[in-house]
Amino acid sequence: MGLPSDDPVIIRAPEKAGEPSVITISCPDKTGLGCDLCRVILFFGLSIVRGDVSTDGKWCFILFWVVEGRVRASETRWGLLEKRLLEACPLVSPASEIYDSYYRQQDIMEMEKKPQVFLLKFSCYDRMGLLHDVTRVLCELELTIRRVNVSTTPDGRVMDLFFITDTRELLHTKKRKDETCDQLKAVLGEFITSCDIEHTVEDITACLRASSTLPPSITEDMFSLELPEEPSKALLPASNRLSVTMDNSLSPAHTLIQIHCPDHKGLLYDIMRTLKDYNIQISYGRVYSYQGGECEVDLFVIQMDGKKIIDPNKQKALSGRLKMNLFLPLRVALVNRGPDLELFVANPVELSGKGRPLVLYDITLALKMLQIRIFLAEIGRHTIGDSEWEVYRILLNDDHYLSSSKNKIVDRVTKMLMGWD
């Protein structure tokens, strides 16, 4: 295990072109830390090709080897990435260098602080890739899209309503509002006719709630937590090589979880968010992604009480959820809505309330590449069973008939979300 460092986060550039950058993190430990760090890395469009994690329960030492994805929202801002990773780490007492009760309480208060929600309203004339270009601008500005309503009038005018929060917590200032509108105007040019940002009275919970119900066929087919008996080859290449095993014989104090599966964008995040939701702590772990698209993960873990996972029912539940979250981390479906087609994309929300980053960016980029315009769009959260889901609903313009079949649309969106495109 590494020693505590004066610099909790260090990013080392590759020595040769094509090699990965190395992120070193040395900070106090907490349950779910790996999930929080992987979410930040995923937001910056980076892929983890190798990782090592070790902790004694109080202090952890993490190494991530990362490469830039072929498709990302913007050029990697390494200095900003370092800052965001540092913010995800628990605070340290400068005097004692221990993570004491005072700083635990500070972290809890920070987690419970709800972000301010702002409403971004702008109108413009429709054009190909409009929603994607807007999404890219907001991502670059570190503005998180919490809910969106996009509608197109018969004369080709678009009214966009984005409920957003600001990672930098500056959107209440005139300077930050002007910066946002100026960036949108620079990208949309003469197409944009108005832009305004105002603080909403809605709290974050009300903002995230979906305004419409889902069709029954969608809820039945799309949100199953059981693995299908006959996996679709289009959804997961080489799905028969997905395996999750647990072993209590190799360590006197830990359960070993071994995972072998095809790689995809955000794979380590999907593993970490599952363990975080089950309150499983990692004592030591390694992950390695091979060039052929396969990934191997070994994790020595304990429960919150410091014991192994002995209960067969707990083992079965955790193993089943890991398999499902690796097999279908996101759900994609295309259904008929009268004469039109509606695209549904859903991803599970962490118990902490945080969703997967860059989903709307990937969806809109895939549709832009297919030369399909968006007529209506909505993001909202739905509670189905005992799980909360973030659901993206995209009503496609009728020009999809000229460009792509239903299967091609689903395939392209799925590949973009999974990083296979």
**b vs e for 65-98, b when ≥16 Cβ sit within 10 Å of the residue's Cβ?**
bbbebebbbeebeeeebbebbeebbbbbeeeeee
Average pLDDT over residues 57-64: 94
Helices (H), 91-244: 101-112, 130-140, 174-188, 204-208, 216-222
What is the length of the chain?
Answer: 421
Query: What is residue 34's predicted lDDT score, i.e. its pLDDT?
Result: 95
**pLDDT above 80 (res 51):** yes
Buried b (16+ CB within 10 A) or exposed e, 108-136: eeeeeeebebbbbebebebeebbbbbbbb
pLDDT (mean) for 213-227: 76
Q: How far is CA 334 from CA 148, 260, 281, 292, in A?
A: 19, 30, 38, 30
**pLDDT tens digit sequence for 323-363:** 999 998 999 999 888 888 999 999 999 988 888 999 999 99
350 or 112: which leads in pLDDT: 350
Q: Is the pLDDT of residue 141 over 70?
A: yes
- What pLDDT band is residue 101 in, cutting at 50, 70 and 90? very low
State the pairing for strand pair 118-125/157-166. antiparallel
* Residue 307 pLDDT: 95
Candidate from 112-116, 142-146, 225-229 with smallest mean pLDDT: 225-229
E strand or H helix at 323: helix 312-327
The per-residue pLDDT for 152 is 85
304 or 71: which leads in pLDDT: 304
Q: Report pLDDT for 406.
A: 86
pLDDT at 401 over 80: no
- How high is the mean pLDDT of the chain? 86
CA distance 412 to 369: 9
CA atoms of 256 and 254, how far apart (whole Å): 6
pLDDT band at 182 (very low <50, low <70, confident <90, very high): very high
Average pLDDT over residues 127-141: 93
Instruction: Give the pLDDT confidence score for residue 311 in this predicted structure.
Output: 96
Per-residue pLDDT band at 240 (split at 50, 70, 90): low
Mean pLDDT to the nearest integer, 53-77: 85
Residue-wise pLDDT for 361-399, tens only, equals: 999 999 999 999 898 899 988 888 788 999 999 999 876
* pLDDT score at 7: 85
According to the per-residue pLDDT averaged within each range, which of 148-152, 186-190, 215-219 is highest? Answer: 186-190
Long-range contacts, stretch 252-255, CB < 8 angstroms, 24+ apart: 253/283, 253/302, 253/308, 254/283, 254/284, 254/300, 254/301, 254/302, 254/308, 255/300, 255/301, 255/302, 255/308, 255/309, 255/315
> pLDDT confidence of 236, banded at 50, 70, 90?
very low
pLDDT band at 103 (very low <50, low <70, confident <90, very high): very low
Whole-model pTM: value is 0.88
